[in-house]
Structure 1
Amino acid sequence: MESDGVAELVTQALAALRAVTDPDDPDEYVPLLWRAAADGAAALPLGLELIGSADPVEREAGCDLLHDTCNQHEAVRAGTATALVALAQRETEGRVLRSLARAIEMTCDPRAVPVLVTLAGHPDAEVREEVARSFAEVVTGLPDGPDIHTLIGLTQDPDPHVRDWATFTLGVQAEVDSPAIRAALWERTADEHVETRTEAIRALACRHDPRAVPLLAELLDNPGGAHVLTFGAAQITDLPEPLPALPEYEPGDDWVTDAVNACNPARRARLDAWAWELVSTLHRLRPDLDAAVSMERFGWGRFVGVAAAFGTSGYDVEALLARADGSPTYAAELVATDLPRTLPDSPPGPRPQ
C-alpha cells in the first residue's frame, strides 16, 4: 500500500473516532486503523507523529495505530515501546492512557511492566480496568514479580469490572502459582460480582486447588453459570469421576464431552499410555525429530512436540489419535510422514534409520 493510502485511512479513522457517540461501538474506526497498520513501514511514523500531537483524540488514535502495527509487525515493537514509555511519563488524559496501556502490551516488551504498574494506581476505573487486561502479554512469570503484586492488588479494586479482569488475568492468563496468588483468588470466590467470583473459581480449579471443587460443582448445577470456560476448568481438576452435574448437559457439545472424558481416570491413564507409546515409536522411526510429550500447566490436553527447527508447534495427542483410528503406531507414522527428512537449510547427510 502507498504511504498516501495509509495516511488517508488514518485520516478517515480519525474522523470516525471524532464521530463516535458510544465508546463501546467504534463503528468504522477499528477496521480502518487495522488496514492502515498492515503497511508497517508507513504506519509506524504516522503513529509516532500522532502520539506527539497536542490533541488527545489524535494521541489516542496514535496509540491505537501503534497497537495494531505491533500486532502485525514484530519488528516495530521495540521502537514503539520506547516511544510509549516516554508518552506515559507525560500523558494525563484517561482516554489516551487506556489506549496506551493496550498498545504497550502489544509490544511484548518488559519495559511495559513498570508503566502498567504505575497506571494501576490511576483514579479512573476505566484506566485501571485496561491495565488489568493489558498485563497478559508482558507478564514476567515470576510469582513475586511487580506485575503479579499489582494484579493481586487490582483483584481487590472497588470497581467490579477491574476486579473481574484482574482475576482473569492473574488466574488464567498469567499461568503462575503461589500461596499469595491462591489467597487472592480464594478471597474473590466470595465476591458479590458474579463474573469475578466465577473467574476466581475457575482459576483455582486450574491450579488443582481442592477448595474449587464444590464451588465448581455449584456453577455446573446452575445452567446460567455453566460457561465453556467452566467446562474447561472441570477438565483439569483431577477428580476420580465427573462432577455430578456434567452428565446432565447435552453430550453432543464438545466441551461437555471433553470435561466428562477428562474426569474419567481410566481414560486419563489410557491416554497417557497412548502418548508414551506414540512418542516412543517416533523416537524409533525419526530420532531426528526429538519428539516429547507435554501438557499445558493450566490445561488438560497432551501434546507431542518436535524439534523447533521443523517449524511446527506440535500435535494434539487426542486429535492425532483420532486421525490414526486410535493407533499410536499409526499416529507416529503419520507424524513421521508429515515432516521432511532433511530441512531445506540443512547440509545433506545420511538419513536416520
Structure 2
Amino acid sequence: MKKQDLVTLFERTLACDYDDDSAWEAVNALRKRGGREVFGTAAQWLKSPRPLERARGADILGQIGVGPGRPHESPAEACELLIELLLNEQHPRVAASALIALGHIEDSRALPVIYRFIGHEDAVLRHAVAFALGCFVKDPASHPGLMLLMIDADQDVRDWATFSLGDLGDLDSPRVREALAARLDDAFESVRIEAIAGLAKRHDLRVLSVLIETLESQEDPEQKLIDAACALLGLGREPAGWTGLDYAEALRARFNGEATPKWQ
C-alpha cells in the first residue's frame, strides 16, 4: 500500500461521525494493514488535541494486525501507550475507545486503570468498562467489577456484564450464581435472558420456572433459551421441530415438580 493510500485511510477515519460505517471501514483497513507506519501514526494520534483523533488512534491500536490466524502485532507496546493515555484522559469517548482497545489486547496490567472508570457518570464509558472486564473474565480479578456492573442503572451495561460473567465466563461459585439469580427479574428482557443462560449453563434449578415461563411466552424463542433448555435436559443437540412449548413440557416432565419459585 502506497503512503498516500495510508494517509487517505487515516483521513477517512476522521471524515464522519464516530459511528459512521465508512469511517469504521477505514479503521478496519488500517488494522488489517498493520505495520510500523500505521502503528506509529496511531500512536502519535493518542497525543492529539483533537478527541476524535485520540479515539481513532486507540481504535486502531487495539486490534492492529489482528486477523484470521494473526495475533496483535505489538500488544505490550500498545497496552503501555493506552494505559498512559487513560491516566490523564478526560473525554468519555476517547476513554471508552481506549478501554475497549485494552480489552482486545487482554494484558492484565490494564486492569487497575480499567477499574478507575467503573463508576463514571457516562453510561457509554461504563459499557466500555463492562466490555473490557468481560475480555478478562477468566481472571478472577475481573469478577467483582462485572458483578457491580450487573446492577448498573443502565440496561445495556447490565446486559453486557451479565453476558460476560454468565456466558463468556465458566467460573461456578455461589457468588456467581447469586449474582445471576438476582437478574432473573431484571426490567430489561435481554438481561433476564443472559441470566437464564448463565444459570442453566451451571445447572442451577432456580432458573427452571422462569425458563419455562419465558419459553411459553415466546412464539419463536431465542437461541439462548433453547440452549439453556438443552443444557438442563442434557440434550447434545436440539430435537428437530421442537417449539418453545415442547421444551417447556420436556422440562416439566424431566424435573417433575422441581420448577420452584425463582427466589427459592
Q: TM over 0.5: same fold?
A: yes
Q: Which 5+ residue runs of structure 2 have no aligned equivalent?
A: 255-264
Quote the sequence identity (%).
29
The answer to whether residue 57 in structure 2 is matched with residue 62 in structure 1 is yes
Pair 247,224 (structure 1): closer, same or farther in 2 beyond 3 Å? closer
Which of 162, 170, 173 matches 1:167?
Answer: 162
Q: 1:239 deviation in Å?
A: 5.3
Contact 2:133 2:145 in 1 (8 A): no
User: Which residue identity does 2:30 align to in structure 1?
Assistant: A
Structure 1: which 4+ aligned runs deviate by more than 6 Å? none
Q: Distance in 1 between matches of 2:65 and 2:143?
A: 24
Deviations 1:213-269 (A, max 9, x none): 2211112112267111111222211459x99xx833599xxxx9xxx8xx99xxxxx
C-alpha displacement at 1:7, in angstroms?
2.4
Are 2:158 and 2:191, in contact at CA under 8 Å, matched by a contact in 1? yes
Match of 2:113 in 1: 115
| Aligned counterparts of 1:105 and 1:113: Cα–Cα separation in 2 | 9
2:77 aligned to which of 76, 79, 85: 79
What is the identity, as a one-letter code, of the residue corresponding to 1:202? Answer: A
- Amino acid aligned to 1:34: N
Give the CA deviation at 1:89: 0.3
Q: Structure 1 residue 193 and structure 2 residue 191: aligned?
A: no
Higher RCO structure (Cα 8 Å, ≥6 apart): 2
In structure 2, the residue matched to 1:332 is: none
Indicate the residue corresponding to 1:40 in structure 2. Answer: 34
Q: 1:211 corresponds to which residue?
A: 206
Q: Return the offset for 1:31.
A: 0.7
CA contact (8 A) 1:208 1:238 kept: no
User: 2:25 aligned to 22, 31, 34, which one?
Assistant: 31
Per the TM alignment, residue 188 of structure 1 is displaced from its structure 2 partner at its CA by: 0.7
The separation in 2 between residues aligned to 1:59 and 1:106, in whole angstroms, is: 17
Q: Whole-Å Cα distance in 2 between the matches of residues 125 and 100 of structure 1?
A: 15
Give the TM-score taking structure 2 as reference length: 0.83
Q: Is the 8 A contact 2:211 2:225 kept in 1?
A: yes
Q: How far did residue 4 of structure 1 move?
A: 3.5
Instruction: Kindly indicate whether residue 153 of structure 2 is the aligned counterpart of residue 155 of structure 1.
Output: no
| Separation in structure 2 between the aligned mates of residue 203 and residue 125 of structure 1, nearest angstrom | 24
Return the letter of the residue paired with 2:89. E
Structure 1 alignment gaps of length 5 or more: 265-353
- How far the C-alpha of 1:111 sits from its partner, in A, is 1.6
Decide whether the 8 Å contact of 1:33 with 1:64 is kept in 2.
yes
Name the residue aligned to 2:10.
10
CA RMSD of aligned residues (A): 2.6
SS in 1 for 2:47: coil
Change (3 A) 1:193 1:226: same
1:183 aligns with 2:178: yes
What amino acid does structure 2 have at the position aligned with 1:37?
A: R
Shift of 1:27: 2.4
Look at both structures and tell me which one has the larger radius of gyration over its CA atoms.
Answer: 1
CA contact (8 A) 1:133 1:165 kept: yes
